[in-house]
Structure formats: C-alpha cells, structure tokens
Structure 1
Amino acid sequence: MKPTLPPPASMTAELVEAFTDESDIHALAEAATAAVLDGGGFGWVKPPTAAAVEQYYRGVPLVPERELIVGRMDGVIYGAAQLQKPSRNNEAQSFAVQLLHHFVAPYARGHGLAKLILKKAEEQAKALGFHVLNLDVRESQQGAMSLYEAEGFIHWGTHPAYARVKGQIISGHFYYKALK
C-alpha cells in the first residue's frame, strides 16, 4: 500500500507513561480507528466510538502489566504497540512478554514506523529483563507477518479457527523471538 502522507522529517518511537497532551490521545484514537477500519484489528472488527477508544488508551498506562509504545512522525502519533507482562503468579513464564495491538494508521504506512515501534518494543522488553517476545497475528494481516519474519520472529504454529471477521472464521499465526 502506498503511503498517503509525505515522507516525514522525523520519526520516533517512545514509551508512554501518561498522556499530558490531549492532541496525543486524539491522534492515537484516530490512528487506531483507521487501522481497525482497514482490517488491522487488535480484536476490534468494527471500531468503537472515538470516546471509547480514547478511554481505553487513557487506561493502558495505568495498568501495571502493560507498557504502551507509540510511534510518531513529525511529532504526531500514527501507531502504537503494547507489551503485556505475565501475571505475577506466572513464575514459569516470567521470562516472556507478549506484544499486542501493534498497528500503524493505513495513511501513514510505508515509512518504516511499524518497524521502529517494533524495535522500541524489543528494547523495552529487554530493559525490563525479558528474554522472549511472543506475538500472534491474524492470517489477513500479511504485511505484519512479513515484517515479523523479516525482523527475526519465528513462526511456530497456526490456529485454524483463530478469529471471526465479518462472519468468516480465519486462521492466526503465532511467533516468538529470543531477545539477546
């Protein structure tokens, strides 16, 4: 897909511990809604209201087991990802973290922002002491699968009835990456 935004002068990915600028939460909600409408999902098939998306993202930094990473182009948020830490009582899997809800708005794709967000998520996972990064993705998200494979993630399994989208059952793929 060709990007519709011109090449940015700057791109960054950063950890968000709290939202201090209302324009950030609005931009994140808009980008997430656009990604859902484009099939990017993260569980949503139809986007909820803008207020519900904003409320969801306001809450993410408050959850101790979550880390929110956002991607910016020229200072505006166009994508994000989350790290889900294992619960404190899950000692057996305490070495691994899950990557969730990784997306870039469709009109901001093609500039490398998804890769930048992914790299920041990996750095954050390592900084937190995790050794493995796990993720899963719907079969319909071929671009994401290509990115993960290009970045060294290992496809270890497929679930044939992973999700239902528009009445159709679709498969999902599971990946992991050892963090060095």
Structure 2
Amino acid sequence: MSVTIRPVSPRDPNAEALLLASHALMESLFPPEDNYFLDIDALCTPAITLFGAEENGVLLGCAAIARKDGYAEVKSMFVSPEARGLGLARRLLDQLEAVAREEGIPLLRLETGDKLPAALALYESAGFAPCGAFGGYVENNSSLFYEKPL
C-alpha cells in the first residue's frame, strides 16, 4: 500500500466528504452537547492544518493539528470504514506529532468519545495519557481527554 500523507484543504470535496462522514458518525453516537467536532469553516484557519492519507488519488483518512497557546490539539481524526485496520490513523497521528515537534510545540492534547474503542486504543498505544478537560471543554458523560508531552 503506497499511502501519501499531505496537507489538504477542508474544502476539497474528498476531504469534505470524509469530514461529513465523521460528523455523521459522532452525531449517531453522542448527544449534541458532547460533540466537539469542528465544522468545515472552523477548520479553515491558519492555526489549523488538515492532513489527508491518500492512495492512488483516493483520500482514505484525515486528521488535523490545531495550534493553541502552549499546546496543539488533535482534531478531525477519521478513517473511511473501507480503509480501517490498515494503520492509516497511526500514520496520521505520527504526522501530527512530527509537525508539533518541528514547530516546538511541547504538548499534544485531544478529546475523544467513550464509544470509540479503536480511537482509545490508538491514542493509548501512542503514549497519550488521560487528563482533565482543557481549553473550552467541560467534563461530561461521553468525553475523554488525553495528552502527550513531546
């Protein structure tokens, strides 16, 4: 499998399709007040870079790094159902970590849902540890918060 990880525009139709599929999944699993995904417009800021995992011109997954004051946040991590189990989420996460390190960002953080066991396994195996709510998040019945010092 020859996959390329590269920055993509959230407005690219293929990226938008992945992001909307991710939003639909989150809306099916979690109550509205526990959904913190970024919409397409929110992803289109200079502080956020969306990366895509692409094979033969087909976008199979995406993840974003959102630069904050003193840390960066992992956002919009999603792999299309037909490409799951191929290690794409790990490669995307590795890319975000590499970018954070290159930019001198000392800490990666993320919020994920308690009904996403594959995501939890990925983050924990990549060295993320549970932490409390951060930024504008609040504790709720669905969200889990993680961080990884770099």
Fold match by TM threshold 0.5: yes
Q: Please give the per-residue CA displacement for 1:138-163, whole angstroms capped at 9, x wherever unaligned.
A: 111111011000111111247762xx
Q: Distance in 1 between the 2:27 and 2:15 partners?
A: 14
Identical counterparts, % of pairs: 27
2:35 aligns with none
1:83 aligns with 65
Q: CA deviation at 1:40?
A: 7.9
Q: Please give the per-residue CA displacement for 1:111-148, whole angstroms capped at 9, x wherever unaligned.
A: 11111110001011111110110001011111101100
Q: Secondary structure in 1 aligned to 2:101?
A: helix
Q: Distance in 2 between the 1:107 and 1:141 partners?
A: 17
Q: Please give the per-residue CA displacement for 1:12-68, whole angstroms capped at 9, x wherever unaligned.
A: 21223x58xxxx922212222333334488x997xxxxxxx7xx26x735x121111
User: Where does structure 1 lack aligned partners over 5 or more consecutive residues?
Assistant: 1-8, 46-52, 87-92, 162-169
Work out whether 1:119 is the aligned partner of 2:94: yes
Give TM-score scaled by structure 1 length.
0.66
Q: CA deviation at 1:69?
A: 1.3
Q: Distance in 1 between the 2:78 and 2:144 partners?
A: 16
Summarize the alignment of residues 101-180 of structure 1 with structure 2, pairs less than 5 Å apart.
Answer: 101-157=76-132, 161=140, 170-179=141-150
Summarize the alignment of residues 25-104 of structure 1 with structure 2, pairs less than 5 Å apart.
Answer: 25-39=12-26, 56=40, 60-61=43-44, 63-86=45-68, 93-94=69-70, 96-104=71-79
Q: Judge conservation of contact 2:66–2:72 (CA < 8 Å) in 1.
A: yes
User: Where does structure 2 lack aligned partners over 5 or more consecutive residues?
Assistant: 33-38
Q: Judge conservation of contact 2:19–2:76 (CA < 8 Å) in 1.
A: no
